Amino acid sequence: MDALNQTLFTLWGYQMSMLELIGVLTGFAAVYLAYRQKSVNFLFGMLNNVVYFVLFFQFRLYSVMLLQIIYFIFSLYGFYHWRHPKKEESDKNKQQRIRVLQWKNRLIYIGFILVAGLLWGLAVIKLQGKFPEYFDPPAFPLLDAVLTMGSVTGQWMLSRKIWDNWSFWVIIDLISCLLYAYMGMFFTSVLYAVYTLIALRAVSEWMKTFKSYELVEKNGLDIAGHQI
């Protein structure tokens, strides 16, 4: 592990380790492939989760560190779910089709993020207070916790191929970009800026795909492209 933490190169005064570079590259691949609706995105995502579990522990962002475990589980589920949808939910490529939430469901998700984030942040603060010999004081515990719950929600919706996940990710990634820049994680901050741009693009592209389902149905075909 020490070898992975050694400085690989220095750019504008920032020391890039092999570990962070692997995290940046696998993270970019995972998000780009998700935008392209490729189920293999989840495999890159799982490798990214392992790398960032270690990195976030080193930077004392404990909530988002633990988030990587949930990400890993959701990625396993998403990889299977995208490739093995129910017959009535499959597209012409026999993969899970995109779905869109109703407003009431969006509000439920937002409420969950805020309430669960507050409770989780307070729990992290209390946990560190009880075991100060194992954990340094958390950095931005409440913000970290809300971003964590927002990311849990976004990853769950992605695994279910719900269009709204990208709207959530635009906000989460933008705030994360600013946070990591402040924490001195320069390349990770740049990565989240790229995530934000990809998420903005995906909002449009996934909606086009969703609307194409309606066009197919109007032409007398089912979602899988068969004559009705």
Q: Are 14 and 187 in contact (CB under 8 A)?
A: yes
Q: CA–CA separation, 46 vs 36, rounded Å?
A: 18
What is the residue-averaged pLDDT of the chain? 83
pLDDT band at 219 (very low <50, low <70, confident <90, very high): low
195-218: average pLDDT: 85
Best mean pLDDT range from 75-84, 107-116, 130-139: 107-116
160-172: string of b/e by CB count within 10 Å (b at 16+)?
A: bbbbbbbbbbbeb
- pLDDT at site 128: 75
Task: Report the half-sphere exposure of 160 (CA within 13 A, side-chain side).
Answer: 13
> Which segments of the chain are extended strands (E)?
7-11, 14-17
Largest CA distance in the chain: 66
Question: Is this model's pTM higher than 0.85 or not?
Answer: no
Query: Radius of gyration over alpha carbons of the chain, in Å?
Result: 19
- pLDDT at site 43: 96
Residue of 202, 145, 144 lying closest to 170 (CA atoms): 202
In the chain, where the domains are located: 15-218
